[in-house]
Amino acid sequence: MTSSSEAVGPRTVGVRVPATSANLGPGFDALAVALDVGMTVETAARGARRVQVHGSGVDELPDGDDNLVWRAFAAYHDWAGVTVPDVSLRSHSDIPLERGMGSSAAAAVAGMALARAVMAVRGDAGRRGGDQDLIALATELEGHADNAAAALLGGVVICTQGRSLRFPPAQRLRPVLCIPDTRLATSTARALLPEVVSHPEAARNGARTAVVLAGLIGAMAWEPTAMTDVLHEPARFTAMPESGRLVGGLRDAGLGACLSGAGPSVLAIVPGGDRAAIERIRAVAGAGWHVRPSQWDRAGATVRRPSGGADASQPVG
């Protein structure tokens, strides 16, 4: 579709999308959670730059039509059969790049969720996609269904057979992010994975995935040792030994810990009221890590639509 000069409307339309942490140890390419770090994107009058980038990536992300947020925005309109409005976008992200926190999935989901909201405001008659459609489109563009699903739906998600299911995370648990200054591209981390694993190892990993999911949603007591993985973490630790040291140290301290996505950030999950656990994490991490006690993002992507002269926030779906 070619761009149109038709305005979106007299007021901006915007979305907020959370960061995500995928895998959660053994749930490789299946489990993810949404976290309380995010990015916002909103429409703006067409300017010299297609995307006005602020926050993380301000000096390195493209500001033209090749920006991932814009590509997602345009791709959703194309899929819906609607002309892409000739607008600029303003983005601001607090999600660090290449740290295993779903920055690219957030960008893809933000662009598509914004497109869907803009179509609703304009009253476009094109195809209206549901959440599963948006996740599939974002995955086709960016490649990670688990991150995309968590970014859109919030909470805890499990992705299976082309469908993503959301569960509310347990109130009694709290995520803690350990973020290094070093970076590693997801494509590099994925290239490290072994091509073959044994059936017994895969079976044990599957069992631990079920235990992690059950603990995260409060169906059983939290079992920190279940976050151990054999499918992807051992190979990745060879390229990020400091992440491996931290994960091992946290597990030795009796805490649930894993690579956040493809790393190099580390995610720990602790009892919500256990302040001593956070201090233990800081002690094990030492210098070179930013320890960030966090919260679950339960809302997922939320949209700001113009309403009676003031914007009203609500879930995207």
pLDDT value for 11: 60
Would you list the domain boundaries of the chain? 3-166+298-304, 168-293
pLDDT value for 294: 96
Q: Which residues of the chain have pLDDT under 70?
A: 1-11, 306-317
Domains 3-166+298-304 and 168-293 belong to one CATH topology: no
Instruction: Look up the CATH architecture of domain 168-293.
Output: 2-Layer Sandwich (3.30)
pLDDT value for 309: 38
pLDDT value for 316: 61
- The sign one gets for the Cα dihedral 94, 98, 104, 106 is negative
Token pair for 28: 């490789």
Cβ-proximal residues to 274 (8 Å cutoff; 6+ apart), any chain? 174
88-135 residue pLDDT tens: 999 999 999 999 999 999 999 999 999 999 999 888 888 888 999 999
The topology under which CATH files domain 3-166+298-304 is Ribosomal Protein S5; domain 2 (3.30.230)
Spatial separation of the C-alpha atoms in residues 82 and 125, rounded to whole Å:
8
